[in-house]
Structure 1
Amino acid sequence: MERHIAIGDYCYDLPDGRIAKFPLAERSASKLLVWRAGAIGESRFRDIAGELPAGELLVFNNTKVIRARIIMHKPSGARIEVFCLEPHAPADYERAFAVTGSCEWSCIVGNVKKWKEGHVAIDFEYDGQPAQLRALLVGEEGRERIVRFEWSVPLTFGQLLEHLGRIPIPPYLNRESQEIDNTRYQTVYSRFEGSVAAPTAGLHFTPELIDAMKTRGFGFEEVTLHVGAGTFLPVKEEDAARHPMHTEHFEVRRDTVARLLEKLGHVTAVGTTSVRTLESLAALAWRIRTAGTPDAGRVVGQWELYDIPLDYSGRDALEDLLKYMDAQGLDRLKAATQIMITPLGYEFRIVSRIITNFHQPSSTLLLLVAAYVGDDWRRIYDYALAHDFRFLSYGDSSLLMR
């Protein structure tokens, strides 16, 4: 089936002054645009419980942003920036952060022309003694480099990143990361290290707001999707259907699948990363239905969900997943996805409502919003621009409800 999306139809004028360069002093003080089946209104994020249906199940992405940017130097003094994207050896996130001595990561390297051979390093102090983290180029994969890190002190790579790395704030903020970003570019429920960008819809939640919502009968579940730098890649093709989607790894627990089935029709995804994770479950389930296995080692393809029959429902998918996990004795599923949700007749099977920030013009995230609200995306964004909403990662939020 041929697919065409004119990305120019999903563009709007975003003045630089409307991009929130810093977070508000209080997370939940952000504005909330509410789109309810075509009607647009506004509120404050702290009052979101009054906008959502009673008893709604909210799904968080509990990934944690790592200090993925490391500023290193050649012996000559040349400055080299190494941006860790995802682990290469060991390839598993948990093992990659726990390893000592050496590891390899897929990285974007700044000033790479000055690093043809030899090592780069960053010096630090450990236990009162001088120490060093060294890096070597050992491979190349497209625009990314495979970098081997070596160190002799008894620290894990995760501990080294925490000590030596910098939070990789979005490039459109046009500033260096600051102390405030170390805490505010993380959700309050972040737990599992692996992302190089925050699931920003969740930045508005506070522990107090979550507790108050639980008291009012709202439910909360967590999934894990490690957000890659590809989330910031602009769509350069005039036909967005030719844009190659990046791969992101995710994990969902068996208990969460059961809860989703129980609350189907009342599932609010907090952020586009939660949407992508939840909707990708239908692809794994359809593989079970047709081939007897989720084949979790194979990435959920960019268009795979469009090839599933429309009468294969979210309930069918979650039931198939539960039966399979119980038969195999699995308490969680790990997989990866390249899913691209667009206005090309996408069928939302798991997600009923979406909480999300305001996204860049001509982006895949804006296409996802348009897949949910249709042509109303332009009315929503026009309203936000006209009513002083702040845009992008540190900006305000929206609640989208069909």
Structure 2
Amino acid sequence: MKLSDFDYDLPKELIAQKPVRPRDSSRLMVLGRNIEHRKFHDILQYLEKGDVLVINSTKVIPAKLSGAKPTGGKVDVVLTRKIKRLVYEATLGIKRPKVGMVITIKDNSFTILSFSNSLFTIKFNKEPDLRSIGKTPLPPYIKQEALLEDYQTVYARESGSAAAPTAGLHFTEELLKKIRMKGVEIAKIILHIGPGTFMPVKTEVISEHIMHREHYSVSSEAAKAINERKGRLIAVGTTSIRCLESSADEKGRVEPGSGWTDLFIYPGYRFRCRPDALITNFHLPKSTLIMLVSAYAGKERVFSAYQAAIKEKYRFYSFGDAMLIFSV
């Protein structure tokens, strides 16, 4: 399949620049055999006792830093993961990088050790205090600053992501409480989202695209809940699906443990642990995320729903509205 197959036109005014409040008052498109237009808190009506809801409890770190080259020019820095003490993987907004170049950040600095495929390995002079110097690493299409708590799910627990699992941003503590009271079990998994989620696909033949590696983990408790469920399996977000698929064996049984995944899911992919439903946002054209959703629900079905969403003026992307897609 070609990259152009996953393109669509979106009016700029439909790109959400800030979240709605309360979180669960966002709109929800329910895509089953037909399309329904609801509010996100109505999702409770579609969940049943015995269902298992899989959520990604990764936590976004304030990893966006502003540095300066030796010449004084500004350098945008996003830390994507910590390799070891003082050493990080990062993306740098720099045109002509050189190994050994020193970038200054306030009272600290780092040296470029190596770089490949848009990712840099850097070493700080001293451990950076991200709480005081870091900002929220928002996607480039969001033009205004946002509070870190706005770009964090209410169930975020383990720090490690450069981006939020945005499908989870719609949940409130009260809604989760109601979901549990209905007899739905919530299974927490972790997939730390790296910079690849922001990076465009540049190959016209999509199968030639190479995904960046991301770390995932599944606890024994979560694996047991998923494997022994009495009802349906419902994944919250594309990252939950990638975690499930990366940890499932050939029979679809999810194995507890942790590891690295560069799994790229696009139409034609054969799912091992296919959820009965997927909760997700509306994604960028030509992105790996819209390709994954198309693999799950069918490309024509997804793009038809997107056109309906545009007509109904749904809000798109990270701070936008949500979809509940049932496998039919």
Q: TM-score range by the shorter chain?
A: over 0.9
Larger Rg: 1
Structure 1 CA distance for aligned equivalents of residues 222 and 267 of structure 2: 28
Which of 93, 105, 130 pairs up with 1:110? 93
**Aligned pairs for 1:2-13 within 5 A:** 5-13=1-9
Question: Which residue of 1 is the match for residue 42 of structure 2?
Answer: 47
Question: Which residue of 2 is the match for residue 59 of structure 1?
Answer: 54
CA deviation after TM superposition for structure 1 residue 371, in Å: 1.3
Which of 117, 120, 123 pairs up with 1:145? 120
Contact 1:168 1:177 survives alignment (8 Å)? no
CA deviation after TM superposition for structure 1 residue 401, in Å: 0.8
Contact 1:264 1:350 survives alignment (8 Å)? no
Contact 2:91 2:195 survives alignment (8 Å)? no
Question: Which residue of 1 is the match for residue 24 of structure 2?
Answer: 28
Question: Which residue of 1 is the match for residue 316 of structure 2?
Answer: 391
Structure 2 CA distance for aligned equivalents of residues 114 and 254 of structure 1: 43
Using the size of structure 2 for normalisation, the TM-score is 0.93
- Secondary structure (helix, strand or coil) at the match of 2:141 reads helix
CA deviation after TM superposition for structure 1 residue 201, in Å: 0.0
Q: Which amino acid aligns with 1:340?
A: F
Structure 2 CA distance for aligned equivalents of residues 16 and 348 of structure 1: 37
- Secondary structure (helix, strand or coil) at the match of 1:47 reads helix
Alignment of 1:269 onto 2:244: no
CA deviation after TM superposition for structure 1 residue 372, in Å: 1.7
- Secondary structure (helix, strand or coil) at the match of 1:171 reads coil
| Cα distance change of structure 1 residues 59 and 150 upon mapping to structure 2, 3 Å threshold | same
| Cα distance change of structure 1 residues 263 and 195 upon mapping to structure 2, 3 Å threshold | same
| Cα distance change of structure 1 residues 163 and 17 upon mapping to structure 2, 3 Å threshold | same
After the TM superposition, which of the residue ranges 231-240 and 69-78 deviates more from structure 2?
A: 69-78
Which of 376, 398, 401 pairs up with 2:301? 376
| Cα distance change of structure 1 residues 265 and 368 upon mapping to structure 2, 3 Å threshold | farther
Which of 92, 98, 108 pairs up with 1:133? 108
Which of 308, 313, 320 pairs up with 2:251? 313
Contact 1:121 1:134 survives alignment (8 Å)? yes
Q: Deviations over 1:327-368 (max 9, x none)?
A: xxxxx5111111122221523524221000001112111111
Question: Which residue of 1 is the match for residue 74 of structure 2?
Answer: 79
RMSD of equivalent CA atoms: 1.9
Alignment of 1:210 onto 2:185: no
After the TM superposition, which of the residue ranges 197-206 and 367-376 deviates more from structure 2?
A: 367-376
Q: How many residues align?
A: 326
Alignment of 1:170 onto 2:170: no
Structure 2 CA distance for aligned equivalents of residues 398 and 376 of structure 1: 13
Q: Which amino acid aligns with 2:251?
A: S
Q: Which amino acid aligns with 1:344?
A: G
Sequence identity of aligned pairs in percent? 35
**Aligned pairs for 1:88-99 within 5 A:** 88=83, 90=84, 99=85
Question: Which residue of 2 is the match for residue 340 of structure 1?
Answer: 264
Question: Which residue of 1 is the match for residue 163 of structure 2?
Answer: 197
Structure 2 CA distance for aligned equivalents of residues 341 and 117 of structure 1: 37
Question: Which residue of 2 is the match for residue 237 of structure 1?
Answer: 203
CA deviation after TM superposition for structure 1 residue 24, in Å: 1.0
| Cα distance change of structure 1 residues 233 and 74 upon mapping to structure 2, 3 Å threshold | closer
| Cα distance change of structure 1 residues 255 and 119 upon mapping to structure 2, 3 Å threshold | same
**Aligned pairs for 1:249-264 within 5 A:** 249-263=215-229
CA deviation after TM superposition for structure 1 residue 381, in Å: 0.6
- Secondary structure (helix, strand or coil) at the match of 1:368 reads helix
Which of 182, 189, 192 pairs up with 1:226? 192
Contact 1:83 1:108 survives alignment (8 Å)? yes
Q: Deviations over 1:227-247 (max 9, x none)?
A: 011112222222111111121
Alignment of 1:186 onto 2:156: no
Q: Deviations over 1:174-197 (max 9, x none)?
A: x2423xx31110001111111101
| Cα distance change of structure 1 residues 133 and 139 upon mapping to structure 2, 3 Å threshold | same
Unaligned runs of 5+ in 1: 91-98, 124-131, 286-311, 322-331
Contact 1:84 1:108 survives alignment (8 Å)? yes
CA deviation after TM superposition for structure 1 residue 120, in Å: 2.9
Using the size of structure 1 for normalisation, the TM-score is 0.77
- Secondary structure (helix, strand or coil) at the match of 2:258 reads strand
Alignment of 1:365 onto 2:289: yes
Structure 2 CA distance for aligned equivalents of residues 6 and 343 of structure 1: 11
- Secondary structure (helix, strand or coil) at the match of 2:80 reads strand
- Secondary structure (helix, strand or coil) at the match of 2:196 reads helix
